[in-house]
Structure 1
Amino acid sequence: MTNDLAGTVERSSFFVGGRWRPPAGTERVDMFEAATGSPFGVAALAGTADVDAAVSDALHGPWGRATGAERAATMRRLGVALTARAKGTAALVSRENGMPRSLSIGANGFAPPMMLDYYAGLAEQLDVDDLRSGTLARVRVRRGPVGVVAAVTPWNYPQALAAMKIAPALAAGCTVVLKPAPETALDAYVWAEAALEAGLPDGVLNIVPGGREAGAHLVAHPGVDKVAFTGSTAAGRAIGEVCGRLLRPVTLELGGKSAALLAEDADLDAFLAALPEVSLANNGQTCHACTRILAPRHRYREIVDAITDTVRSLPVGDPLDRDTRIGPLVSGAQRDRVLGLVAAGRAAGARATTGGGVPEGRERGWFVEPTVFADLDNDAAIAREEIFGPVLCVLPYDGEDDAVRIANDSEYGLGGTVWTTDPGRGQALADRIRSGTVGVNHYALDVLGPFGGIKASGLGRELGPEGLSPYVALKSVYLTPESR
């Protein structure tokens, strides 16, 4: 097994029960560098027997009986071990999915240790029971782990999204079976190396990369007590149906088609400076990206031209290059899907003001030019579908009420932003947008704030103290009333 940034990366075993375990089958996936399309690694993929073994090992162990303070100490050691690997992890993810390294170093390198430290602090607070004196009884409310967690994660922010599940689960005393996506099967094992270094007890964290069959088997496994999933809305609906039938708790963080509402008084320069992060982060492969930009009609041409110039100027290239702002997409299939949606938008009459194809000189790898569409309305397919690529739509509106209507006219409700020089106005508009999260003059997930969506964007929340609750099982112990 090697993990050299410039060489081949091979992962031929799974991490189960605190040790490296050979796969039960022979299925493997070849990994291709997003920037070149060249092979650079290989990983074993789990079958149902491997999932069974991981769940079986997760069912046993003392982790749930440890004190919150004991778990917190181990979690912090795990964070230290991940921090030591942060730069290499970030680069590996960039090779896998095309994320510019400038973004990956935070999202995949240093965000997971930060989340572990935050939830370690909350774990320490779980040691104290809540004693309530009522009329009929004294009630001792105990907080314990919900049990075995199936964490199913996608390829776009693999380390951060794994941490959003692993950190609160460990804090609550749960054990975890992590099933990362095949596209990012390699970087998941950084967690295994860090777990061994930190002394995480055997079976607390198990890692079995796999495809749809392995994921479906894990979600429905009788040994699983809770499911945490991030991915597409279609997959989320299927998982939700299974968990509903099984009466199994589930958290679903799904797709989005968020709007950036530029108010009449918006500072256009401020928005343009933030646009790469707010609307095109990770080459558009971001669920909460504001890919619909709402502009007041009397400023529409000005805003379209300014956005076009900004997007056209973004450096496209190797995600490992410090200057790159737009890297390749995760795969050839994803590139072809995005280009197909762009072609459909043009055929439907929308005008591409920039981009729309493969960048010149970037025929190798999975690149798509950052693209801006104008002269369309919110009913256009490209304004309604989650494209998951560097494609923006600029839509005109007539008055504030119309802007809010368009922002809310979506099956999704995950993110959004409001841009205005009046902070009070910005917060008032944010309150009118039907979405799980909204930013005013910026957008940045913070570990303190619950993150998640409404409508087709999912169920439940991650991050913040609210992100711990799904992993905690409450038990009321009724004691005799105090003598009066």
Structure 2
Amino acid sequence: MRQHDTLFIGGEWVAPAGTGTIDVISPHTEEVVGRVPDGTAADMDRAVAAAREAFDHGPWPRMTFAERAAVIGRLAEIYAAGQAEMAALITEEMGSPITFSNLAQAPQPLGMLQFYAALGEEFAQEEQRPGLFGPITVRREPVGVVAAIVPWNVPQFVTMTKVAPALLAGCAIVLKPAPETPLDAYLLAEWASEAGIPAGVLNVVPAGREAGEHLVSHPGVDKVAFTGSTAAGRRIGGICGEQLKRVSLELGGKSAAIVLDDADLASSMGMLAIASLMNNGQACVAQTRILASRRRYDEVVDAVAAMVASQPVGDPADPATGIGPLVARRQQERVEGYVRIGMDEGAKVVVGGLDRPYDRGWYVAPTVFSGVSNDMRIAREEIFGPVLAVIPYEDEADAIRIANDSDYGLAGTVWTADAEHGMDVARQVRTGTYGVNCFMLEANAPFGGYKASGVGRELGPEGLGGYLEYKSISRLG
């Protein structure tokens, strides 16, 4: 078992203020695999003070972008050497299949570090512009102390969407990992210290909701970067709005995969399996609404059902596993509750249902519903598990209307033999990310959502901009 008795604050491993602990429980075995301190409001105060000191008086925000980029580059090298360790750790603590952890949970955060290290090499802190009465200097300065609050589903991916650009900008950070997945954050803290990131620039305090809200409300925090549920995002956005505090929110999704009539179902299903079932369905970008024309509806239902049924369910550490357990018992019960809701709404279970695959572990049966209309709860609410709803449409315009008929706007896909036409469809769907015959996120392109899927963008140069303040300086003479 991985036992941590300290918190990472001010560049040191320090004793917590309280005596509470957080047990990290394997979703596969239901056994405790780790234990960390349960951070308190006093711990958050200490972490913010350390970050404040590092930002207000330390060297990090006063270095050039290129100097900070060199340190981030060293962290990337350490991260690259430890990728396999990080992937295995995330699989252990939250049940992500090891194949997905090796594909995304560790490599994508590494890619973000590498991207921002390269971006910072030539990024200009000041830009000269001509003005009406003389030259204008536009200066980019770090926003200050950042509270980074991350969820459990892709913990390092979400951590790095915040930490990598915040580091390059020159900010100091207090990272609050989710109680379910704090172990990977400890490993990151060790690597950051080894890379030479100055004391207080990155602080790690695992904690629950109350201490997290204390951190959000703290007057010493200049910006909050949050990923999680839309309900929690509304609460955090409200607090930041009252304080006029900078905030970015990456929230939920209910993404639609539009299967056009010319799509080759045999070739599409392999990629759609990743797009819709990645990370056991615990992904905000998962394509959980499958839109099929009435002309090919039964054929698409059969293809989706066969694809889901073919996914091996089992031990997430086994490379043969396609779908592992959900992160916690409450998540298992939540997803099964939605399966009951779908059945009560009149949708038909084609694959899966309420029979659990195993007696031990927080597994649910991967499930496909047919006969779904877009006004059903299983089509409108984020389930966050391996549950897919196949929805019929009349024509392409109707498919686009259904895709846009959602409170969310985070992701989406279209599946077609004509990729150029797929681009036309992509331009009409109101989401922040989209895929034509695929779905992927790139470190050099912005990621975020429309509508209730969030506020702001992460990744790419746009993600760096979220951690900068812009100052205009006019000069005469």
Shorter-chain-normalised TM-score: which range?
over 0.9
Give the corresponding residue for 2:100.
103
Give the corresponding residue for 2:328.
331
Offset of residue 358 of structure 1: 4.2
Q: Is the 8 A contact 1:126 1:143 kept in 2?
A: no
Q: Counterparts of 1:80 and 1:132 in 2: how far apart (Å)?
A: 37
Give the corresponding residue for 2:363.
367
Gaps of 5+ in 1: 1-7
Gaps of 5+ in 2: none
Give the corresponding residue for 2:238.
241
Match among 51, 56, 65 for residue 44 of structure 2 = 51
Match among 273, 281, 295 for residue 276 of structure 1 = 273
Offset of residue 113 of structure 1: 2.2
Q: Counterparts of 1:131 and 1:344 in 2: how far apart (Å)?
A: 59
Q: Is the 8 A contact 2:33 2:93 kept in 1?
A: no
TM-score (norm. length: structure 2): 0.97
Match among 392, 398, 413 for residue 402 of structure 1 = 398
Give the corresponding residue for 1:74.
71
Q: Counterparts of 1:206 and 1:198 in 2: how far apart (Å)?
A: 14
1:181 aligns with 2:178: yes
TM-score (norm. length: structure 1): 0.96
Q: Counterparts of 1:140 and 1:232 in 2: how far apart (Å)?
A: 40
| 1:412-451 map, 5 Å | 412-451=408-447
1:473 aligns with 2:466: no
Offset of residue 199 of structure 1: 1.2
Q: CA deviation digits over 1:220-263, x for unaligned, max 9?
A: 11111111110000000011111111111111000000000011
Offset of residue 128 of structure 1: 4.6
Q: Is the 8 A contact 1:259 1:407 kept in 2?
A: yes
Give the corresponding residue for 1:5.
none
Q: Is the 8 A contact 1:82 1:190 kept in 2?
A: no
The one-letter code sitting in structure 1 at the alignment partner of 2:26 is E
Structure 1 residues 352 and 27: alpha-carbon distance in aligned structure 2, compared to 1, 3 A threshold: same
Q: CA deviation digits over 1:301-334, x for unaligned, max 9?
A: 1110111111111100111100111000000110
The one-letter code sitting in structure 1 at the alignment partner of 2:162 is K
1:27 aligns with 2:20: yes
Offset of residue 266 of structure 1: 1.2
Give the corresponding residue for 1:292.
289
Aligned Cα root-mean-square deviation (Å):
1.1
Secondary structure (helix, strand or coil) at the match of 1:280 reads helix
Q: Counterparts of 1:24 and 1:18 in 2: how far apart (Å)?
A: 17
Moved runs in structure 1, 4+ residues, more than 6 A?
A: none
Secondary structure (helix, strand or coil) at the match of 1:245 reads helix
The one-letter code sitting in structure 2 at the alignment partner of 1:385 is E
Q: Is the 8 A contact 2:142 2:468 kept in 1?
A: yes
Secondary structure (helix, strand or coil) at the match of 1:59 reads helix
Q: Counterparts of 1:82 and 1:31 in 2: how far apart (Å)?
A: 23
Q: Counterparts of 2:178 and 2:281 in 1: how far apart (Å)?
A: 18
Offset of residue 133 of structure 1: 2.5
Q: Is the 8 A contact 1:259 1:294 kept in 2?
A: yes
The one-letter code sitting in structure 1 at the alignment partner of 2:324 is G
Offset of residue 388 of structure 1: 0.2
Give the corresponding residue for 2:380.
384
Give the corresponding residue for 2:316.
319
* Identity %, equivalent residues: 54
Single out whichever of 221-230 and 98-107 deviates more from structure 2: 98-107
Q: Counterparts of 1:391 and 1:19 in 2: how far apart (Å)?
A: 44
Q: Counterparts of 1:339 and 1:155 in 2: how far apart (Å)?
A: 19
Secondary structure (helix, strand or coil) at the match of 1:370 reads strand
Give the corresponding residue for 2:31.
38
When the two structures are aligned, how many residues end up with a matched partner? 473
Give the corresponding residue for 1:120.
117
Give the corresponding residue for 2:454.
458
Q: CA deviation digits over 1:339-376, x for unaligned, max 9?
A: 1110121122111101012443x111100111000012
Structure 1 residues 193 and 358: alpha-carbon distance in aligned structure 2, compared to 1, 3 A threshold: farther
